[in-house]
Chains A and B, each alone.
Chain A
Amino acid sequence: MKAKAFAARLALALVAAGNAASVACAADFDWKKFQGKTVTFLANNNPVAQALLAHKADFEKLTGITLKVDGYQEQQMRQRLVTVMNARSDEVDVFMSLPSREGPQFAAAGWYADLTPMTKGAVAGDYDYAGLSQALLKAGTFDGKLTSMPMNIEGPILYYRTDILKKCGVEPPATIKDIEPAAKKLKACDANITPFVSRGLKPAIAYTFSNMLHNIGGNYIANGKSNLCSAKGKEALATYSGLLRDYGPPGVVNYSFQQISALYRSGRAAMSFESSNELRTVMDGGERLKDTALVPFPAGDAGQVPTAIGWGMAVSAHSKQPEAAWYFVQWATSPEIQKRMALQGIAPPRSAVANDPAYRKWIEEEPVRKQWQAALDVLAAKGSSEVGYPIVANPESREFIGQAVQDLILKQKTVDQACADADKGLDALIAQK
């Protein structure tokens, strides 16, 4: 009994000491510690980075650190990163990364600095590490190393036109099986409207297709082999490609987010399965503000397993000033900055920010924003970050998925041929170390 009491007291003392140490650490935290240094940030010139960099001057004022921004479009940013990292150069201190895409690859190459000790070391008192989406933190952790801090949360959701559906007597689809009959009815009702649109461009397909596959109950790998030719895999391939082929716009094989958002915003599509990030683009001009509703993608046999990913901020393993770089990462992913970004339409990866009064006021201003947040809540709660195969060669795996879907849209192969060809190539990728 005495031993138990002693152990309990010891445990309490250790916890108290730990807490005191972390409080002391937060209290000692000095934003000006790296004053005069220059941190280089390799950014993807997308809405997330644009929203963040609108506050660049505040970071420089707060820390005295000069922030040098090296901004590129997404693919060009990766090219630059590959070149810098292969040369083991310290030119880049912080870079944006999509853990769901390049995470396993970059982690295996040793390009990410381990952020785990940083999150336990020099951390500002109001950082609230625990408040960040645990799912996204997990998605950015490889072999026990935290490789990036989440900047936002996003995923594909279904945008649909309430007025057109009402006019055509169509109920919003509640399940995946409801989409095809709804699209058929819409096509018969108004020939000028594209009933359903989603991604058909080869490298972009995996983003939306993965949601359908997971909702149907399929998975990419089973017993170490590619699983597209399983019954669920084939069902997902047939359903996704069938919807785009029979009810999508002409030329859908070249459609990615730009074309989809343009089509929907122009009022020529009834249902659009596209990224939550596109809300601002779709609502630009205000024409779709009052006639659009948003929901997570309808459930399949496995319910709703939405795709939920987020851009992360990583510190380069070759940076010569990882501590200063961490200051920037910490500032950029802090509750205050994420709140500011949220007010610019970047979904926050923190529930506390999502509940912030100023953010709630912004959300309450329009019904469509409320639905957007509700859909994001589902993404945060149930989301899977698996976009394409969870392997080192993830970007290449997306090619095979895209090729199989395109072959079916273009009627160049049967489902059995398309999935078998894809599985063959994907098995070789899975076997790669």
Chain B
Amino acid sequence: MSEAAATFTEDRQRLELAALSAPAVIFTVAMIAFPVVYTVWLGLHSFSSTGKQSFVGLANYSRLLADTEFWHGLWVTIALYVLSLVLQLVFGVWLALVLFHAKRLPGIVRSLFISPFMMPPVVAGMMWLVILDPSLGAANYILQSLGLPPSEWLASPVWVIPTVALIDTWQWTPYVALIVLGGLQSLPPSVYEAAQIDGASAFKTFQRITLPLLLPTIVTATILRSVDLLRFFDIIYITTQGGPGNASNTLNIYGFRVGFEFFNIGYASALMLTLTAIVFGAVLAFNRLRGAVAW
């Protein structure tokens, strides 16, 4: 076959491949791009309560900067994010170590440890709402049985964020633990043997070997949990709807209410795009960190 003929065959094959994969590519791009482009378009418009729309340019974004509820929502979102993430990483690593070292732990116990994150968040929210009810719930009953004062839990403007963070931690710690457990199982045994020969204590081994080697895995877990935590919605909506007052009104809850309860879709879209930008920013930052701690 001449060179020209071979090139022609190659080009033809490429064209065929492109033609065959085009529908899937177009479909995927459309499915991802359309909602984003549509939300951007919505964010440039104002919708009255009766659905009438008008182009307002960036007015929704300038309104956002002057909106105290937005800044409060941002603060609540970040507070909830930081608190939940720290708790989940600490307990997740601890649970992973327990599961890793307890080789003889029965399968049923292991399943129980990791079961919360398999529960639908709405069910988890309803369950905790009942448990934490200040009058009828089991949580205060236990506290009072131990001679401790009862708490208002989700009904207290002071305690609502820690309480929601605890519920989320209860649900998602096992997920972090599973990721970390995967990382633990892939660590090279030779470094542990060397540490043992050198007489390193268990704590020193964890501090100097396990933790540094686990860092890329922990950062991966951080990225996955960050995306979820920054757009945390379901449990908050089920348990407090952003209350009491606006004490747990995260950006996501605020945007939802503006859009679907007050029907201001334009402003809600601007809020959601801002939240999306924050999520992307966090993911990019942690991605860089992952690159830095890779080994």
Q: Does A85 contact B (CB under 8 A)?
A: yes
The digit string for B151-181, where 1 denotes a CB below 8 A from any CB of A, is 0111111000000000000000000000000
Which B residues lie within 8 Å of A395 (CB)?
A: 261-262
| CA–CA, A120 and B282, complex, Å | 61
Please measure, in the bound complex, the distance between the C-alpha atom of A385 and the C-alpha atom of B241, giving whole angstroms: 25
Q: Which of B48, B135, B260 contacts A251 (CB 8 A)?
A: B135
- In the assembled complex, which residues on chain B have CB atoms less than 8 Å from the CB atom of A393? 49, 262
The number of residues on chain B lying at the interface, defined by a beta carbon within 8 Å of a beta carbon of chain A, is: 29
Contact (Cβ within 8 A) A253 B49: no
Which DSSP category, helix, strand, loop or mixed, fits chain B's interface?
loop
Q: Is the CB of A254 within 8 A of B49?
A: no
A406 located at the interface, meaning its Cβ lies under 8 Å from any Cβ of chain B in the complex: yes
**Binding stretch for chain B, among A33-41, A262-270, A368-376:** A262-270
When A201-B243, A406-B244, A410-B157 are in contact, do A251 and B134 touch as well, CB less than 8 Å? Answer: yes
Question: In the assembled complex, how far is the CB of residue A112 from the closest CB belonging to chain B, in whole angstroms?
Answer: 12
Q: Give the residues in chain A near B52, CB-CB below 8 Å.
A: 109
B133 CB–A CB distance under 8 Å = yes
CA distance A397 to B261 in the complex (A): 11
Centre residue among B49, B241, B246 by max chain A CB count within 10 A: B49
| CB-nearest residue of chain B to A197 | B135
Cβ of A409 to closest chain B Cβ, rounded Å: 8
The interface residues of chain B lying within 8 Å CB-to-CB of A252 are 155
Q: Is the interface of A mostly helix, strand, loop or mixed?
A: helix
**Once bound together, how far apart are the Cα atoms of A75 and B154, in whole Å?**
21
B136 at the interface (CB under 8 A from A): yes
Interface size on A, residues (CB 8 A): 37
Task: Decide yes or no whether B50 CB sits under 8 A from chain A.
Answer: yes
Are A410 and B245 in touch, CB under 8 angstroms?
A: yes
A101-B52 Cα distance, complex, nearest whole Å: 19
Q: Hey, which chain B residues are within 8 Å of A281, CB to CB?
A: none
> What is the distance, in angstroms, from B121's C-beta to the closest C-beta of chain A?
15
The reply to whether B245 and A79 form a contact with Cβ atoms under 8 Å apart is no
Q: Please, which residues of chain B bring their CB within 8 A of the CB of A304?
A: none
Q: A412 near B: Cβ within 8 Å?
A: yes
- Report B's interface with A, CB cutoff 8 A: 48-52, 133-136, 150, 152-157, 239-246, 260-263, 265
19 A-B contacts (beta carbon < 8 Å): A78-B261, A82-B263, A86-B265, A111-B51, A201-B241, A202-B243, A202-B244, A251-B153, A253-B243, A266-B136, A392-B50, A396-B49, A403-B245, A403-B246, A406-B244, A407-B245, A410-B157, A410-B245, A433-B48
